[in-house]
Structure 1
């Protein structure tokens, strides 16, 4: 028995020794360099995984993977599979047309200097800000709106859910990036938020009491909180596709063909945010009707679908623009190249108010509600009245962000804001424009207005070759560069700045003329005396 036991012990000892030699041989081969040269790629830490300790990964190691996705001996199969998944995702993201329907964007980080202007403070709409703690208080009021609609129309919630379910894929394509929500969660958010928006639109247009709400309702009444809600609902990241609102409104009305109705309700709801309050003249009303064809109402779906309330509001600001679009400055266009990236260094369209005033240019208020419609003629710059309140900054920033992000969008609002930013460099510029009736504001001081415009376009890249105000700026700059205009303006400021100076100037001229006449006749009489 002892001999047998020793024989078994000897066998286990030999097996262990053989295994030890095999392991040591493998380690020596792994540490010794191979005779063939091989290039290495430094993969980032998140791709390498913790088992590779940030060492350079050779191309041969990646090529060691079998076609069926399994790694050969010596490779980490999970790591290789994760790399392939990332490459597949990149291929899917790079498919042509994957961003064709995108219209609701996340604000680029370079524009997020003031998050309060882009992040809702009272109510969230859509998936971007859904579920945030400070916005959850509004959820119960959203469900009250859904309940009130179903009670008023005697309909079931299934009809709304099924309608949005059919449009889910199209709605997801409107949002930037991957929406990490299940199908049911995404549809529920769109239904509840859309019903809330429609109740606000209809209540603002026809009265909330007619919809069944109490006159002292904390939300569905025209109270002070409504301004904060309006400001949140116009933000770019807080939008719902307009076709979703149209579909649900059609279910409420019993008529699915309701395109354009929600857009008109939206314009009525957001009217307090308009940057002007000047009424339309009859000629402007006729231009608006002719530009919209036979329809007497604004229809934002005449050109493209998949829009939202911010785009409807923006197009309403520019709806009356008719005629050919102004061409860029000739000297810029001559040296420009097609497809050139906008130059951040060349965004100066015009000089500031103080410099223009010193060169003889006068400023007058133009009576029109088209705040962007600026005219220049005979040294007079006519600018429509602009109203500035605490929501103006957020409004302009979201409009500029949309024009910066959306490909099929002009830069008319951005062009106007940069033009005003060039005009306003100091509180004195704001004070003079206020004196001329061009700027009306309810901020603390003129310095706050100047700072507002100076900070609106800090990170905006603007192409002056595509500006609707480039031709006008060329005319103003040409007038500014004429020296005679500056001399004449200097004379006017020094000697004709008040009525007494004018009287003194003409008195001096008359006195000088009389003195010259007396001198002439005295000399003439001396050389040619009367006979």
Structure 2
């Protein structure tokens, strides 16, 4: 009987099956994902918000409920300031509610089937996020000066944690929510880049990008800011270069490059790139140029979520993943971090160089370099440079004799002894070739040398 129900269900689904173009549109809408256990288990805390929830995935979690009161207060301030009834915002979002629901993969039936509750969540979280973003440029003056969130105190002590939570893949709101709220608030007077600029000022205040185009959510905006204003064009459709949940790495070991210390021993020097884009990595004339990166307490969580987004969102690209893969190749130990720090490429804000090395090594678990990535070309150039005979000899010499201070002293002593030996040999044989020949014993019996006549010295008679 159960088998018959399943057969009937499959036949019904087959009749309702949409064409490929419709499926394509449905997949394109999805941009916020649940991180599966095979990925999250590597670092569970990196994907779970600790201060505030945005969207349905973590709403109602016990450790986040304290922030719900602040969300409601922010909503009231938002409505009072713009002098618009909440009905206008509700109706505006209701027009795109299906598109908002389709952004989440998966979406629990409790949200999928209860549209009013879903819209209430979008408005409440969206207004709170807008109020948070606006604190990046100024303190909102309609809040109490001792407000725990929207004050100088909150900006100093709570905003870093909120910023970290806003960059988690499972904790996103579709940017469409923020766009509609801003348009209703300002009678559609704001330009299309207004929300992008708000997010940019909050998450990356030192980044200057004039136009970002259509973005999906806060994490997507931040990703584009890390790649710069003019990302490199993709010449061919991307082939997925990730891993399966079994952790199989598809990287080609022959194309891996050595650590920064070994590259330095082979004669390669490190310099800062002209821009801060994570794509701006190049190698010419024995110089490897890398963008400056600040490593702090939020770096690990941020990169793990960016990598997860690239992994699950088809068409997002693989630039961040490729960058992490490349950095893991050249960072094996604290010595590599110290070398890059001395070249002003890594700014260490978490303490020891060993901790930074461990961070990059952990980020690269179960990832591989995209076959279409421009960094593969850089890797090949660096590897080719290191394989040249002179560079190999130089690297082997430094690695063998200049890694250990005792080896250096032994080499110096050997050279000194060799020089002394040569000097002693020269001193011994030099007199043999430059002394006057000894006098003959028959010298007294030899006739005198004939006197040569000259017109200037005529002979005497």
Which range, TM-score by smaller chain?
A: 0.7 to 0.9
8 Å CA contact retained: 1:247, 1:258: no
Partner of 2:186: 253
8 Å contact 1:495–1:505 — kept in the other structure?
Answer: no
> Per the alignment, in what secondary structure is the counterpart of residue 218 of structure 1?
coil
Structure-2 residue corresponding to 1:486: 392
Matched, 1:206 2:138: yes
Deviation at 1:381, TM superposition (A): 2.4
Unaligned residue ranges in structure 1 (runs of 5+): 1-47, 50-56, 63-77, 281-287, 289-296, 329-336
CA deviation string 1:229-256 (max 9, x = no partner) = 0000111111111122111111112225
Q: Which residue of 2 aligns with 1:177?
A: 106
Pair 322,88 (structure 1): closer, same or farther in 2 beyond 3 Å: closer
Tell me the equivalent position of 2:441.
Answer: none
| SS of alignment partner, residue 466 of structure 1 | coil
**Residue 366 (structure 1) shift:** 4.4
Report the alpha carbon displacement of residue 470 of structure 1 after superposing the two structures with TM: 1.0
Q: CA deviation at 1:400?
A: 0.7
CA distance in 2, matches of 1:214, 1:164: 30
Give 3-state SS (helix, strand or coil) of 2:137's partner: helix
**1:472 equivalent in structure 2:** 378
Question: What is the deviation of 1:137?
Answer: 1.1
- Partners of 1:506 and 1:208 in 2: how far apart? 72
Secondary structure of the corresponding residue to residue 418 of structure 1: helix
Equivalent residue number for residue 55 of structure 2:
126
Q: Aligned residue for 1:346?
A: 251
- Does the 8 A contact of 2:268 with 2:287 survive in 1? yes
1:299 to 211, 228, 239: 211
- Judge conservation of contact 2:169–2:309 (CA < 8 Å) in 1: yes
Name the residue aligned to 2:27: 99
Summarize the Cα distance change of 1:307–1:375 in structure 2 as closer, same or farther, 3 Å threshold: same
Instruction: Pick one of 135, 150, 174 that aligns with 1:220.
Output: 150
Bigger shift: 246-255 or 430-439?
430-439
Partner of 1:34: none
| Secondary structure in 2 matching 1:387 | strand
Are the equivalent residues in 1 in contact too, given 2:322–2:368 (CA < 8 A)? no
Shift of residue 406 of structure 1? 1.5
Q: Secondary structure at the match of 1:100?
A: helix
Cα distance change of structure 1 residues 175 and 92 upon mapping to structure 2, 3 Å threshold: farther
Of 39, 50, 58, the match for 1:111? 39
Mapped contact 1:387–1:440 kept (Cα < 8 A) = yes
- Cα shift readout 1:90-134 (whole Å, capped 9, x = no counterpart): x47986223121111222332212121111111111122112221
Distance in 1, matches of 2:278 and 2:145, equals 36
Which deviations, in whole Å up to 9, do the C-alpha atoms of 1:459-515 show, x marking residues without a partner?
23543x1222111111111122223213234556758999x9999999999999998
Q: Deviations over 1:329-388 (max 9, x none)?
A: xxxxxxxx9968667242553212233233333334446433442232333323333211
Alignment counterpart, residue 195 of structure 1, candidates 109, 127, 150: 127
Aligned CA-pair RMSD: 3.7
Relative to the length of structure 1, the TM-score reads 0.68
Deviation readout 1:371-411 (Å, 9 max, x if unpaired): 44223233332333321111000110111111111211221
CA distance in 2 between counterparts of 1:81 and 1:191 reads 40
Q: What's the CA shift for 1:192? A: 0.8
Matches within 5 A, 1:446-525: 446-463=353-370, 465-489=371-395, 491=397, 494=401, 525=434
Name which of 207, 216, 231 aligns with 2:164: 231
Q: 1:119, 1:201 → 2: CA distance?
A: 21
Cα deviation, residue 158, structure 1: 0.3
Tell me, what secondary structure is at the counterpart of 2:270? strand
2:220 matched to which residue of 1?
A: 311
Asked whether the equivalents of residues 111 and 460 of structure 1 are also in contact (C-alpha less than 8 Å), the reply is no
Cα distance between partner residues in 1 of 2:35 and 2:96: 25
Partner of 1:384: 291
Give the alignment partner of residue 352 of structure 2, picking from 445, 449, 454.
445
Instruction: Give the match for residue 455 of structure 2.
Output: none
Looking at structure 2, the residues matched to 435 and 339 of structure 1 have their Cα atoms a distance apart, in angstroms, of 37
Partner of 1:70: none
Q: Does 1:267 align with 2:194?
A: no
Q: Secondary structure at the match of 2:183?
A: helix
CA distance in 2 between counterparts of 1:496 and 1:81 reads 73
Displacement of 1:316 after TM fit? 1.4
Counterpart secondary structure, 2:216: coil
1:155 Cα offset (Å): 1.2
Tell me if structure 1 keeps the 8 A contact 2:257–2:330.
Answer: yes
Indicate the residue corresponding to 2:65 in structure 1: 136
Count of matched residue pairs: 418
CA distance in 2, matches of 1:107, 1:152: 37
Contact 1:369 1:384 in 2 (8 A): yes
Provide the rounded CA distance (Å) in 2 between the counterparts of 1:111 and 1:140.
33
Structure 2 gap segments, 5+ residues each = 244-248, 439-461
